[in-house]
Structure 1
Amino acid sequence: MGKKDASSVKLPVDQYRKQIGKQDYKKTKPVLRATRLKAEAKRSAPGIRDIILVIVAVLLFLLGVYAFFYLNLSTELDLDVDMD
């Protein structure tokens, strides 16, 4: 009794996968190839989040370098004024 009842009840996920599989069989080869290529391009393309992180990192680095040189030059100028 347990085996028969358990096998007759399918999970909604399995039913959904079966339905999607049936839909894929109806598609032609060029459509399937285009879908696969689109999915591969999406996986291999760098995300907008990665690009923004790189740009922010570069800007922070440049800001740090600018602040370092600004502080060094401003202290040297102050010392020159005191010597006169």
Structure 2
Amino acid sequence: MGRKDAGTTKLPVDQYRKQIGKQDYKKTKSALKATRLKAEAKRSAFGIKDVFLVVAAILFFVLCVYAFFYLNLSTELQLDLEED
């Protein structure tokens, strides 16, 4: 008896999904395609955060190279002064 009652009632979530499906079906194919392309472009576009991370990585690399050469040259200069 419990199974009969459970099968006849529909969950509100299922009804909601069915309504959304009907509304989506009413849209034209070109509108659906445009919506899909817009969402895809939004996902694949570079954000400000991505650009900032790339610029920060480049600046960090340049700073490391600069520090390496600075430390190498400063120790060579000190060695030259000590020899005199």
Residue identity (%) = 71
Using CA pairs below 8 Å that are at least 6 residues apart, which structure has the higher relative contact order?
A: 1
Task: State the Cα deviation string for residues 28-79 of structure 1 (Å, max 9, x = none).
Answer: 2221111011122223334444433333222222221111111111111122
Structure 1, unpaired ranges of 5+:
none
**Matches for 1:1-84 after TM superposition, within 5 Å:** 1-7=1-7, 8-10=9-11, 12=13, 14-84=14-84
RMSD of Structure 2 on Structure 1 (CA): 2.3
Shift of 1:11: 5.0
**Which ranges of structure 2 fall in alignment gaps of 5 or more residues?**
none
- TM-score, normalised to structure 1's length? 0.71
Aligned length: 83
Taking structure 2 as the reference length, the TM-score comes to 0.71
Q: Secondary structure at the match of 1:30?
A: helix
Summarize the Cα distance change of 1:60–1:21 in structure 2 as closer, same or farther, 3 Å threshold.
Answer: same
Give the aligned residue type for 2:11. K
